[in-house]
Amino acid sequence: MPPPQRPLSKLAKGAAACSQSALKYGKCMDKVFGDVVQGSCAAEFEEFKACLRKALRKP
């Protein structure tokens, strides 16, 4: 029987592995906080998303 999955634990590890891209995305969102529109910080978000996908990929 496989061990139980812990999705939040996996997400936390992925976010830790992607701290630099998360910081870039967060800083961008902070800059546009009062005037957010769709597509604001899209490049930063895509970089963070790609990093998370890579970090969370099953070995």
R_g over Cα of the chain: 14
Place of tokens 């996908």: 53
pLDDT for 3: 66
**DSSP at 24:** H
pLDDT in tens, the chain (59 residues): 666 667 788 888 888 899 999 999 999 999 998 888 899 999 999 999 999 999 988 66
Residue 18 contacts residue 41 (beta carbons within 8 Å): no
**pTM value surpassing 0.85:** no
